[in-house]
């Protein structure tokens, strides 16, 4: 018998939608792909140049340890400056993408049967990864009506004596919500009172709009050692294909994560780590991309809310619209209608743990012309 946890794992809904869009494109169907979870921009030129230079300079050997020291030092300094997270370079592990960082953290912390609180709507990979690690996902539903706000009671009533940890993701995929001070304090208090661990997935933390600021859970010194912060360069620097991210955690968790890391990944490609160092010199490029996302967001929020039966809140960060569909259809059925009548590829909400009402997730990491076309198509789709 195959591994009991992994053989039963569901596939990734967003990957499925992206693959479907790619297949339709290959067949010549003029699809508008709003399913993708990645920037449409190319990686900034100077990062690409740095990778070529690094290859020519012979950075082609095994990466030893948790990652090249200059990169871990740069990450450590940025975390301190921008996220108020204190983690010295020894507490940083450079991982092949943020996703592997999440897997590493959960594998290190969980024992079979441990319960993990996951806030819905949640990113599609948390539940499968928890299950793969033998953990038991316990969903904490957050509601649109309450603006997806975290409240103490809603979380506390899901805590049992088997609860080991919680996973949060802010800025959130799919809702675009950021973590506010009051909510972060609620989580901090619960983590302390119930002696929990946490994973804070902050992969979109550089894509926050209107001058707002996402609060990093690990910025509270009282819980710093119990929190694994996961971040990376995929979204902020348009580097999804490079596969590089990192974790920052307390010394004990880092030690256990590193054991698994050494015996699985060995290290992220050295020339890619060298190139990632250049991200820290690209503040202007990153800012420019954020400004463009903000303009696209403003356009899409305004236009989508003009279309009968569709509505969405204004995301504070990331690059997704979480569109509510006022219909009797399920989210899967609504996605089918969008595809059949408008060639629009979106991701249905049930894959994000939203089962009561129908939503679709649409990415606005697309060129303005594509978004204008999408709006026109959305307004012509008959949903009844
Ligand atoms: N976490 C969230 C919330 C994401 O949306 C994604 C990618 O879609 C990831 C993590 C994975 O990031 P990476 O590509 O660095 O593995």
CA of 228 to the centre of ligand 1 (A): 15
Q: Is residue 88 within 8 Å of 115, Cβ to Cβ? A: no
Kindly state the helix (H) or strand (E) to which residue 19 belongs, with its residue range.
Answer: helix 13-26
What does the pLDDT read at residue 91? 98
Tell how far CA 291 is from the center of its chain.
20
Going 336 to 341 to 347 to 348, the CA torsion angle's sign is negative
Note down pLDDT in tens along the chain; length 384 residues: 888 878 877 777 667 777 877 888 888 888 999 998 899 999 999 999 999 999 999 999 999 899 999 999 999 999 999 999 999 999 999 999 999 999 999 999 999 999 999 999 999 999 999 999 999 999 999 999 999 999 999 999 999 999 999 999 999 999 999 999 999 999 999 999 999 999 999 999 999 999 999 999 999 999 999 999 999 999 999 999 999 999 999 999 999 999 999 999 999 999 999 999 999 999 999 999 999 999 999 999 999 999 999 999 999 999 999 999 998 999 989 998 999 899 999 999 988 998 788 999 999 999 999 999 999 999 999 887
Q: Which fold has domain 46-281?
A: 3.40.640
* CB distance 67 to 44 below 8 Å: no
Q: Judge if the upstream peptide bond of residue 171 is cis by omega within 30 degrees of 0.
A: yes
| Domain range annotation of the chain | 13-43+283-380, 46-281
Three-state secondary structure call for residue 9: coil
Mind listing the pLDDT tens digit for each residue in 316-355?
A: 999 999 999 998 999 989 998 999 899 999 999 988 998 7
What tokens appear for 355 in the block?
Answer: 């089962």
Which 8-state DSSP code applies to residue 55?
A: H
Sheet strand arrangement including 320-325:
310-311, 320-325, 359-363, 347-348
Atom of ligand 1 lying closest to residue 96 CA = 16
Q: Considering only CA atoms, which residue is closest to atom 12 of ligand 1?
A: 98
HEC per residue, 318-337: CCEEEEEECCCCCHHHHHHH
Q: Which fold has domain 13-43+283-380?
A: 3.90.1150
- Give yes or no for residue 169 CB within 6 A of ligand 1: yes
Helix ranges (H only) for 222-360 are 251-262, 270-277, 283-304, 331-342
CA-nearest residue, atom 11 of ligand 1? 99
């Amino acid at each position: 018998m195959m591994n009991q946890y992994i053989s039963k794992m569901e596939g990734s809904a967003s990957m499925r939608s992206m693959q479907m869009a790619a297949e339709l494109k290959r067949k010549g169907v003029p699809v508008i792909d709003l399913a993708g979870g990645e920037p449409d921009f190319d990686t900034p030129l100077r990062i690409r140049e740095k990778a070529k230079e690094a290859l020519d300079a012979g950075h082609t050997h095994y990466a030893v340890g948790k990652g090249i020291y200059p990169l871990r030092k740069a990450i450590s300094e940025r975390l301190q400056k921008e996220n108020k997270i204190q983690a010295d370079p020894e507490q940083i592990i450079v991982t092949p993408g943020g996703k592997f960082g999440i897997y590493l953290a959960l594998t290190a912390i969980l024992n079979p049967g441990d319960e993990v609180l996951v806030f819905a709507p949640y990113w599609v990979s948390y539940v499968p990864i928890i299950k793969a690690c033998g953990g038991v996902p316990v969903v904490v539903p957050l509601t649109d009506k309450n603006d997806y706000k975290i409240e103490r009671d809603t979380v506390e009533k899901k805590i049992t004596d088997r609860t080991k940890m919680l996973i949060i993701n802010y800025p959130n995929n799919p809702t675009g919500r950021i973590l506010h001070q009051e909510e972060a304090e609620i989580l901090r208090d619960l983590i302390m009172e119930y002696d929990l661990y946490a994973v804070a997935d902050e992969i979109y933390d550089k894509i926050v709009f209107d001058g707002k600021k996402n609060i990093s859970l690990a910025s509270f010194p009282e819980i710093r050692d119990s929190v694994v912060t996961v971040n990376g360069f995929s979204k902020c620097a348009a580097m999804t294909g490079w596969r590089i991210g990192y974790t920052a955690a307390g010394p004990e968790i880092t030690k256990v994560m590193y054991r698994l890391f050494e015996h699985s990944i060995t290290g992220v490609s050295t020339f890619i780590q060298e190139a990632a160092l250049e991200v820290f010199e690209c503040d202007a490029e990153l800012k420019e991309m954020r400004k463009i996302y903000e303009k696209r967001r403003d356009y899409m929020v305004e236009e989508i809310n003009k279309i009968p039966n569709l509505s969405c809140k204004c995301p504070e960060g990331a690059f997704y619209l979480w569109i509510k569909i006022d219909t009797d259809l399920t989210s899967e059925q609504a996605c089918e209608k969008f595809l059949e009548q408008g060639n629009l590829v979106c991701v249905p909400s049930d894959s994000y743990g939203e089962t009561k009402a129908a939503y679709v997730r649409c990415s606005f990491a697309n060129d303005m012309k594509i978004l204008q076309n999408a709006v026109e198509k959305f307004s012509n789709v008959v949903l009844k």
